[in-house]
Structure 1
Amino acid sequence: MANSRFEYVRNFEQPDPLLPNTWIVVRVDGRAFTKMCAKYKFEKPNDRRALDLMNTAAKAVIADLPEITLAYGVSDEYSFVFHKSTNLFERRSSKLVSTVVSTFTSNYVYSWFSHFPDTPLSFPLPTFDGRAVLYPTIQNLRDYLSWRQADCHINNLYNTAFWSLIQLGGMENKEAEQALAGTLAADKNEILFSKFGINYNREPEIFKKGSVIFRDYELVEPASHNTAETVDAQAEPVQQSKKQTENDKKRRSKAAIVVDHLDIIKDEFWDRRPWILSNKPGKIPKEV
């Protein structure tokens, strides 16, 4: 087709590069998941199988795209963080979003039977949409991730109280909504404990904090570095040699990809894992 008379149609394609030197977050969300939860009778307020399936799909995305430094997921959404220096697909928004969404969706469907062995999939199949959002500073990026984790806690506390009132208290949906209207976190905790003997603090961490996925290296002492200042102080991303880039990619491929349920709002998570923000692979943990 080179130099054919039809080639002019390429001029209709519009470039969509994302701003350089900014953190890229590709957020994946389930489409019509409320209906899907009802169709497959997901457990309320949380279905551990469904959450583990989301984590399996997200882990596959990170394994396929070493340029992703971290991912955070809750419910039917996942946020994938690309380092500000990445030039994957020349930072084209459409390529980044479509690749992440399609890789996530295909792995979600492929892994369904491993998590729901007694529930075969049927049409319409699960689908996801996605968007790319840019954050200029580390603080902006961390505030975004903190927002998602704070939402996880707020929504889960409400849903735990709501479904306890229905499943254990025998209330109808509207009654449960009215009982929780205007309540604060302390009120919901009191309802759970006094009425149903549920200590919310002992609920599984995955329900309260969501899931964070990253490459695992040796933890470091917080006082030994200041990654945030170093990275944000750079007016332009440091250009690595092609050899160094390939070496870093190989080192990332050797690191284990872990799924954990940690507090990513506090500084400790970031201070002990400087490789997430610096994009420099750390030391592989020694086998015990």
Structure 2
Amino acid sequence: MANSKYEYVKKFEVDDKLPPHNWIVLRIDGCHFHRFSADHMFEKPNDENALNLMNICAVTMLEHFPDIVFAYGVTFILKETTEFYQRRASKILSLGVSYFTSVYVMKWKDFFPHKELREPPPFDGLKVICCYPRAKIVRDYLAWRQVDCHINNQYNTCFWMLVKSGKTEREAQESLKGTLAKDKNELLFQQFSVNYDKLPAMFRKGSCVYVDKVEETVKLDDSGNPVKRVRKKVTVGHFDIIGPKFWNEHPYILEEE
């Protein structure tokens, strides 16, 4: 279009370049995913295979896009100095969602070998956030997401236990209306002998995906002694990211320039 009379149309393009020196948060979300999970008969309240499929998609995202330094579930943190696609929000959003969705489809059979993928998985980019100029704010954002994970999982665990015990969904909702966390814990233990704190950490805490530094044996020397090197490896774990322990042990993840 250069040097043509039509070049003026470029003036109407929207500049969506995100400001520099801000951590970028890309949050992918399922669009009408309740229907998708019902159509594919996912286990309620948590389908371990479905969650592990999401985890491997997140791992692949970190392996493919090195500027992503951390993921919590399907929330991805890009380092503050990234120049990925010139920090253009639309490019980051569209490429992130399309790649994640493609991996989900390709990896489906690895986790559901006897279940056909009946329809395309509906993911969208819920938002790109660029207003986090400090790592402390990113940590607070991730803490908020983990608190939300706990609240939702505790409620859903109670809800589906009640439904499976014979209550209708409306009756289960009424039973849980106005209950506090301690009430839900007591309900699970008294009625179903379930200790909430003993449920798998992946359900209660969510999944963290990050690049870990691990020591691996690369060869043996002439004397037969192992020669070790520190290498980077994308790792999935289920940790408390609200407190300081995880971040103190992995300070390089949100290291500020």
Per the normalisation by structure 2, the TM-score is: 0.89
Query: Which amino acid is 1:264 matched to?
Result: I
For 2:199, the equivalent position in structure 1 comes to: 203
For 1:242, the equivalent position in structure 2 comes to: none
Q: How does 1:1-288 map to 2 (within 5 A)?
A: 3-73=3-73, 78-123=74-119, 125-130=120-125, 131-134=127-130, 135-167=132-164, 169-217=165-213, 255-278=232-255
Deviation of 1:257 after TM superposition, in Å, equals 0.2
CA contact (8 A) 1:69 1:279 kept: no
Deviation of 1:22 after TM superposition, in Å, equals 1.0
Query: Which amino acid is 1:105 matched to?
Result: T
Deviation of 1:98 after TM superposition, in Å, equals 1.3
Quick check: which one's strand share is greater? 2
Per the normalisation by structure 1, the TM-score is: 0.79
- 1:8-63, Cα deviation, whole Å (9 max, x unpaired): 44333222110111111011001110110111111100001110111111111110
Q: Structure 1's 197 and 110: CA in aligned 2 closer, same or farther, altered over 3 A?
A: same
Deviation of 1:6 after TM superposition, in Å, equals 4.6
Number of matched pairs: 242
C-alpha distance in structure 2 between counterparts of 1:3 and 1:62, whole Å: 41
254-263 vs 200-209, greater mean Cα deviation = 254-263
Note the residue ranges of structure 2 that are not aligned, 5 or more in a row.
216-228
Note the residue ranges of structure 1 that are not aligned, 5 or more in a row.
220-250, 281-288
Query: Which amino acid is 2:19 matched to?
Result: L
Secondary structure of 1:255 counterpart:
strand
Q: Structure 1's 270 and 218: CA in aligned 2 closer, same or farther, altered over 3 A?
A: farther
Percent identical pairs in the alignment equals: 47
Superposed CA RMSD in Å reads: 2.0
Secondary structure of 2:211 counterpart:
strand
C-alpha distance in structure 1 between counterparts of 2:101 and 2:8, whole Å: 34
- 1:230-269, Cα deviation, whole Å (9 max, x unpaired): xxxxxxxxxxxxxxxxxxxxx99x5110011000000011
